[in-house]
Amino acid sequence: MNKFIKTDIEQALILLKTAINNALCDIENGTESEIILGYHVPFSLVVECAEGRGWVRDTYYDLDTNGFECDCWYHMITPDNKSVEIWSCLFKGQETRIRLNNENN
């Protein structure tokens, strides 16, 4: 791969991680109860950013899939003990979203 493509990808990831972290911050602060990140934000990157902020997997729940497509639901707990769901799709399907679990509302 040429150096320009490599640099473009690195810069794109920096911007995408910044956007994801801003969304996670809004969820943590209660500014938003749900944020839809869209179809092109990878589930794994959202989880990576959340873990970097101190969020942990909610061991009460398993990673849940719908069995038809690669849609998934993942539960995490923020450092201030809010229960959060991350919805996504590993291929094509539902948009990636972060939302406070209903029990928090």
Residue 1: partners with Cβ closer than 8 Å, 6 or more residues away? none
Q: Kindly report, residue by residue over 1-46, the tens digit of the pLDDT.
A: 898 999 999 999 999 999 999 999 999 999 999 999 998 898 899 9
Q: Kindly report, residue by residue over 89-105, the tens digit of the pLDDT.
A: 877 667 899 999 865 44
For residue 95 the two structure tokens come to: 């948009």
Q: Give the Cα separation of 65 and 49 in Å (integer).
A: 21
DSSP code for 40 = T
Locate the domains of the chain by residue range.
3-104
Q: Kindly report, residue by residue over 62-82, the tens digit of the pLDDT.
A: 666 655 567 788 899 999 999
Q: Which long-range contacts (CB under 8 A, 24 or more apart) does 7-10 make?
A: none
Angle at 80 between CA 83 and CA 20, to 5 degrees: 70
pTM here is 0.85
Is pLDDT larger for residue 26 or for residue 87? 26
